[in-house]
Structure 1
Amino acid sequence: MDSVTLDELDRRLIHALQLDGRMPLSRIAAVIGAQERTVARRYSRLRSRFVLRVVGILDSRRIGMLEWIVRVRHAPETATALAAQLAQRDDTSWIAPLAGGTELTCMVRTLPPGEESQRSFFEQLTRTQGVREVNAACLLRPVAGVGGWAGRMNALSEAEQVLLRAPEPAEPLEAEHPTLVWSAADNRLVRALSKDARADLGQLAAATGWSESTVRRRIAQLRESGVLAFEVEVDPALFGYGIEALMWLEVAPAGLHAVTRALSRHPQVAFAALTTGATAVFAIVECLDADSFGDYVTNELAQLSGITRIETALTRSRTKRAGPLLIPAIESRPGRNRPVER
């Protein structure tokens, strides 16, 4: 694949799609001041070259499921095969082999404790050849990066954003409120949207068995309730950000509110969440280079009262982002690994 450079129109298109992933290209073109066919060509070019994809993502907590941030330490020779095996699962996302070649991280969706599927996944993973240690922290609440990373959302003016921004989702469901009623057809809908959030209503109706009008209403309902959101998958390196770092922050309980509030305002933070485990906060940070990452840690993070320890790691690559793979993953060589089963 030839290298791709994003120009101003590409960046404006990406920003618009992050505001509303299913916004018609005709509407985007009218707001950003370009011809519709030009915008359509740009989108098609970026999509066909695997530079950009809009995917549907599920807030699993709102349908009674859990999300986990998982760290897997493994033998160096199993790195590629293990990442590929995990990437082919429907319940994994954001798979990142780390620099050094002996660890990867990913996000996993499971049913609550006590359910067979959760026990099955983690038991399979720990028994996979080459896996040396598995640490799983439950994601309690996202605190930054919800609705898109600020680093790729600065191409449109505020007035343009108002015209393109999707309606705000409802407030998060409180613990005493029942979770949303979920069906097998909802699973099929979300699976189709996770591959291509811009699929037309006819395609989604065929996938779910619903009518197009039912599909339209259900998507609106899921978005309004905050269960369904759209994410633009694009490599931060195309915006000039050459360093992606994962951070685990130990924070004193009294400082959690101030620290998470500050992280939500830092443009370097692509995602952050409260979690269980030895560290209370997990974050993904995008920086221009190693110097700017060092400046961020020693200047901005160091100013936050309450952080008692910082652990950092650089990602080597992204095997998988929010949506499922669209191209075959690299398979393990015969006899090298026993795969993690679906």
Structure 2
Amino acid sequence: MTKKIKSFDKIDFKIINELYKDVRISASKIARTIGVNERTVRRRIDKLIESKAIRIATIIEPSMFGYNSIADINLKVEDSVFDKFVESCKKNPNVCYIAFGWGKANLAIETRFLDNEEMYNFINHTLPETEGVEVINFFIIPKIIYNIDQWLPVESDFKD
């Protein structure tokens, strides 16, 4: 069984839920809604951020900027070029997610493009022509149904 890194309680759960509904909500409104002191809410939010349990961030909707061609790509990247390739992916505006993988692929990337031709060229030319990089497989994503910015822990993850 995986050990939880940090221990959070039901007050943290209530604060997280209020922030999830509206990240711009004031600490005073959260305090009134959940029935605790405003200073407690501010301190708890700071603790949640500092512990990296939550991030307060702007989530961009790529489709609003025309990035509707999505592909998840699994790659085998040789150790000798791995770090350099990851850095190039971080700088590529079409790459929005990078993760280690196990199995045949050791790197997974999510990409978004303005059109299918750009996506096709990246998958079939740019990547295969990159030394030390092999495309293991890819999935064209017509629609994302549920994303990480919609995920929440369950109440049982929080102690009484």
TM-score bracket for this pair, using the shorter chain length: 0.7 to 0.9
Q: Residue 323 in 1 paired to residue 153 in 2?
A: no
Does 220-229 or 266-275 show the bigger shift? Answer: 220-229
- DSSP 3-state at the match of 1:223: helix
Give the superposition deviation at 1:304: 3.6
For 1:277 and 1:234, locate their aligned partners in 2 and report how far apart those are by CA, in whole Å: 31
Look up the match of 1:309: 135
**Number of equivalenced pairs:** 151
Look up the match of 2:119: 293
Look up the match of 2:104: 278
Label 1:204 to 1:300 Cα distance change in 2 as closer, same or farther (>3 A).
farther
Look up the match of 1:139: none
Look up the match of 1:251: 77
Amino acid in the other structure paired with 2:132: G
Give the superposition deviation at 1:185: 2.1
Look up the match of 2:87: 261
CA contact (8 A) 1:270 1:286 kept: yes
- DSSP 3-state at the match of 2:122: helix
Label 1:299 to 1:202 Cα distance change in 2 as closer, same or farther (>3 A).
same
Look up the match of 2:11: 185
Please list every run of 5 or more consecutive structure 2 residues that lacks an aligned counterpart in the other structure.
153-160
TM-score by length of 1: 0.39
Look up the match of 2:37: 211
CA contact (8 A) 1:185 1:209 kept: no
CA contact (8 A) 2:14 2:34 kept: yes
Please list every run of 5 or more consecutive structure 1 residues that lacks an aligned counterpart in the other structure.
1-110, 116-177, 326-342
Look up the match of 1:168: none
Give the superposition deviation at 1:206: 4.4
For 1:254 and 1:194, locate their aligned partners in 2 and report how far apart those are by CA, in whole Å: 42
Amino acid in the other structure paired with 1:279: A
Residue 229 of structure 1: which of 50, 55, 58 is its match?
A: 55
Give the superposition deviation at 1:208: 4.8
Amino acid in the other structure paired with 1:224: E
For 2:21 and 2:150, locate their aligned partners in 1 and report how far apart those are by CA, in whole Å: 6
Amino acid in the other structure paired with 1:220: D
Look up the match of 1:239: 65
CA contact (8 A) 1:195 1:323 kept: no
Moved over 4 A (4+): 206-209
1:83-98 aligned at under 5 Å gives the runs none
Whichever structure has more strand as a proportion of its residues is 1
Identity across matched positions, percent: 23
Amino acid in the other structure paired with 2:121: D
Give the superposition deviation at 1:207: 5.4
Instruction: After superposition, give the CA deviation of every residue in 1:9-55 in whole Å (9 maximum; x if it has no partner).
Output: xxxxxxxxxxxxxxxxxxxxxxxxxxxxxxxxxxxxxxxxxxxxxxx
Label 1:212 to 1:277 Cα distance change in 2 as closer, same or farther (>3 A).
farther
TM-score by length of 2: 0.75
1:1-342 aligned at under 5 Å gives the runs 112=2, 179-206=5-32, 208-321=34-147, 322-323=149-150
